Amino acid sequence: MADEQQLDIQPPANVSTGGKNPLLTILVLVNCLLVAGVGYFQWTMFQKFSVQPDVREVVAAEVKKMNPDDEKEKTGEAREEDGVLLPLDGFTANLAQGDGPRRYLRMQAVLKFSKGSSEEEFKARKPQIRDVIISTLNSKRPEDLLKQEGKNYLKEEIKSAINAFLVDGNVIDVYYVGFQIN
């Protein structure tokens, strides 16, 4: 009985299954045109960006405009600003207490002042300079100063703190002659 009730499903007579579908052909053509358009726009953008100068070329041109006669800049040598060196007496300062035992810092430093600075002002303000440095050192933890970044940051802090009260000149750099944390 099951064999007698087989269903014969046949497509309607007016629909052809072996013919081409015009909608599918149109979609394939539109897709090809879109891909070609995207490729063209990418190629034109590549051409525009390849003509633009590199960032390094722009920076080099600007530096050359600012210093056209500077021979050291052309050779790539580092240029150091002239200044007056002022050696300071050694510092021994307690560091801020973190976890663990009390620690202190021994440091010897030399300050480099701008060339046009008056040496009399530095000698007159030497106690004030020492006080600022000791106060800055007292606020630091040993962990802050053990790494090179911490030491460089300390230099910048000392420079800005001293430059805040100087009138005639300014500190260009701070050099560590001795630096020991115990």
pLDDT in tens, the chain (182 residues): 555 566 666 656 565 555 678 999 999 999 999 999 999 999 999 998 888 877 788 888 888 887 766 555 455 555 556 788 888 889 888 888 766 788 888 999 999 988 877 788 888 888 999 999 999 988 888 888 888 998 999 999 999 999 888 888 888 999 999 988 88
Strands 171-181 and 91-94: unpaired
10 backbone dihedrals φ, ψ, rounded to 5°: -125, 145
SS3 content of the chain, % helix, strand, coil (to 5): 45, 15, 35
pTM of the model: 0.55
Judge whether 172 and 105 are in contact, CB under 8 Å.
no
CA distances from 94 to 22, 103, 137, 145, 171 (A): 88, 6, 7, 13, 25
> Does domain 83-181 bear CATH number 3.30.479.30?
yes
